[in-house]
Amino acid sequence: MLKVSNVTKQFSSGDTKVVAVKDVSFEVGDGRFVSIVGKSGSGKSTLLALLGALDRPTSGKIEVGGDDITKYRDHALTNYRGSAIGFIFQSYNLIPNLTALENVMMPMEFAGVGAAQRRKRAEELLTQVGLDATKQARKPGRLSGGEQQRVAIARSLANRPKLILADEPTGNLDTQTGKMIVELLHKLARSEKTTIIAVTHDLEIAGQTDQTFVLRDGVLSAAK
Amino acid sequence: MGVISRGVRNTFRNGIRTFSIVIILGLSIGLAITMLIARQAVQAKIDSVKSSIGNTISVSPAGARGFQGGGTPLTADEIAKVSATAHVVSVTTTLQDRLTSSNTNLVSSIDPGTIGRRFGGGGAGGPGGNAAAEANFTLPVTVTGTNDPSSVSTLGGGPGGGGGGGTVKITSGQSFDGKSDTNVALVGQDLATKNNLKVGSTFTAYGTAIQVVGIFDAGNTFSNSGLLMPIAAVQRLSQQPGVISSATVQVDSITNLEGTTTAIKNTLGTTVADVVSQQDTSAQALAPLDNIKSISLYSLIGAVGAGAAIILLTMLMIVRERRREIGVMKAIGAQNLKITAQFMVEAVTFTLMGAGIGFVIGVIAGNPVTKLLVANSAQAATAASTNGRGFGRAFRAAGTSITNIQTTVGWEILLWGLLAAIVIAVVGSAIPAWLISKVRPAEVMRAE
């Protein structure tokens, strides 16, 4: 369960202060697929960074499974990110000189999982997202955009996270592939009982999720 | 796949860049290894020259050189002070005297020649000379009283002295006890042949019968025409009790030679004794080699510094280029230490590949570069001493000798080279590592 209470993020640049996220509060239950929609500059990515413990809020609390992650120190935050959160990025952000399999194995290596065990888990995940052994052995440069995003999804699931944060997961994909990726995320949310929060500006994709929030000038409101 | 294999693989992500960096690093490390080889070869040469000079000090009466000059002979008390000086291992004392036809039946084996007649008193050509004296003139026989007949320099007369010096090798018979006061002698092989002496024979000196206990070869005509006796016997027979004409001091280590020389000079005083160490001469001769040592050290430091700078700039460029990748790694749970280790492995791989090329360059260039440096320095040194006399001659001789230098590449060089490579990698990675720790994953999100 994700609980966000009165979270505000303010940036300072000289004398200018910009409030990117303003007093945001919401709750998401386990296994739910939630979308946050908003225009460019509305604070979507900032909110996602706060939820993913990539940045600290100026004020407010973020609780994941009852733990207030805003109180964690850097080292603990890194461990938390590695074990409890999965990230999916718009431009996939796979390591270019590693194979698909090695990319998926990497978060497990950082979490201290043994070599044989992480290989087995990575193969299972890649098969689950529809990539066969041949494609698993390929480097990202030799995979299509949709295939790369599947690898990114498999990587995000590697350590069985409680929460997956997706930043424009279909932004670089054609409509058909985007739809397939959203269906895949839906399926995984149910099968792995993982909460998924996707940031998107595509209302059609938002319509496919369990719940949608709208972010406008840093202020969050429920859409449906 | 772990940190090490990822770091190694990352090294080859950009083939052209890797090739360029490795070549430049190879040249830098090659220069460092060349300088290391040169420095080691020069140090070996310096050690060799110093060890060949030996760790001895000559002490002679102030103003005296062999049978020339003046001064007052050294006394047993003064020698006792020398013996008590720190680092002195032994003191060999000698008293030299001349045996002429008036006090010996020995005939010198050396033909007087023009030099002998000029210095030996047979100057018939001068005013007052006569033809008979010129025809009958023979060189005196030098008798050296010593407390240590085995000492290599007992036949020497001190620096620049009349003694010929040389290593005493007994060819028949045996040596005598240098501390005894017996009428025995070791006879030079030329003198023995000239006077038909064998072991067990006797000859007359100072009106006393002296027994030949051995025949020696000192390797030169002058010394082989002399004879050795216990110093106490020579002092007694020549009626010079307690007189010492020179002493050779053995020091425990060549590193203590300079300090001990100074200490003896201070103990005896410059008006009493001339104290000379051959290291004084060698220091001048070895100055060019010391210069090469300095040059090679500075070049070595410069080359290692250049290598570190190359790696530093390369790693800065790579870290900057992979900021997003670093952010992603942090986002998926990588601690700073793991990411830093991965980049350091990359830097070490670059450096080790550079070191491989550097070793080849060093091995190929080490000998010719060393020879070139030594030849140039020796040439300059020889030119500088062209007008020199005395020490200048030794200086020129050493200048010629030091060009005979040979480099060797052993495990020590390889290990030092490897250490230099690791230092380059670690120093070159330090700032990039700090930059890695400063990359915030949130910034990467914003850049998306």
Handedness of CA B95, B98, B103, B106 (dihedral sign): positive
Handedness of CA A124, A130, A134, A140 (dihedral sign): negative
Confidence of residue A142 (pLDDT cuts 50, 70, 90): very high
Count of CB atoms situated within 10 Å of the CB of B45: 22
Instruction: Pick the closest to residue B175 from B165, B183, B184 (CA basis).
Output: B184
In A14-71, the DSSP E strands lie at 16-28, 33-37, 59-64, 67-68
Q: What is the mean pLDDT of residues A23-48?
A: 89
The pLDDT score that the predictor gives to residue B164 is 42
Residues of chain B with pLDDT under 70: 1, 52-53, 66-67, 69, 115-136, 151-167, 278-282, 378-403, 443-448
The Cα–Cα gap between B53 and B76 comes to 27
Q: Who among A90, A102, A110 is closest to B448 (CB)?
A: A90
Chain A hits for B10, CB-CB cut-off 8 Å, are 97
Count of CB atoms situated within 10 Å of the CB of B84: 10
The pLDDT score that the predictor gives to residue B387 is 46
The pLDDT score that the predictor gives to residue B377 is 74
**Which chain A residue shows the shortest CA-CA distance from B328?**
A93
The Cα–Cα gap between B159 and A42 comes to 96
Residue A82 has pLDDT above 60, yes or no: yes
The pLDDT score that the predictor gives to residue B118 is 64
Cβ–Cβ below 8 Å for B333 and A95: no
Cβ–Cβ below 8 Å for B6 and A87: no
| Residue B172: strand, helix, or coil | strand
Interface A-B, measured as beta-carbon pairs within 8 A, has a size of 76
pLDDT 10s digits, A155-174:
998 998 989 999 888 887 78
The H or E element containing residue B58 is strand B56-61
pLDDT 10s digits, B317-374:
999 888 888 988 999 999 989 999 999 999 999 999 999 999 899 889 988 888 888 8
The upper half-sphere exposure of residue B41, i.e. CA atoms within 13 Å in the direction of its Cβ, equals 26
Residue in A56, A93, A165 to test binding to B, most B beta-carbons within 10 Å: A93
The Cα–Cα gap between A5 and A68 comes to 10
Instruction: Pick the closest to residue B406 from B52, B50, B53, B43 (CA basis).
Output: B43
Give residue B382's identity as a one-letter amino acid code. Answer: T
The Cα–Cα gap between B412 and B402 comes to 23
The pLDDT score that the predictor gives to residue A176 is 81
Strands B208-217 and B184-188: parallel
The Cα–Cα gap between B27 and B21 comes to 10
Q: Who among B6, B13, B333 is closest to A83 (CB)?
A: B333
Confidence of residue A3 (pLDDT cuts 50, 70, 90): very high
**Which chain B residue shows the shortest CA-CA distance from A75?**
B335
Confidence of residue A139 (pLDDT cuts 50, 70, 90): very high
Do A102 and A115 touch, CB atoms closer than 8 A? no
| Residue A123: strand, helix, or coil | helix
**Which chain A residue shows the shortest CA-CA distance from B326?**
A95
pLDDT 10s digits, A95-131:
999 999 999 999 999 999 999 999 999 999 999 888 9
Name every residue in B having a CB less than 8 A away from some CB of A.
1-2, 6, 9-10, 13, 324-325, 328-335, 338, 440-442, 444-446, 448
Token look-up 């480097």 returns: A139
Do B206 and B171 touch, CB atoms closer than 8 A? no
pLDDT 10s digits, A174-205:
888 888 888 888 887 788 788 999 998 888 88
Name every residue in A having a CB less than 8 A away from some CB of B.
45-46, 48-49, 52, 54-55, 75, 78-79, 81-83, 87, 89-91, 93, 95-98, 102, 105-107, 109-111, 155, 159, 167-168
The pLDDT score that the predictor gives to residue B155 is 56
How far does B348 lie from chain A, in Å, by closest CA? Answer: 19
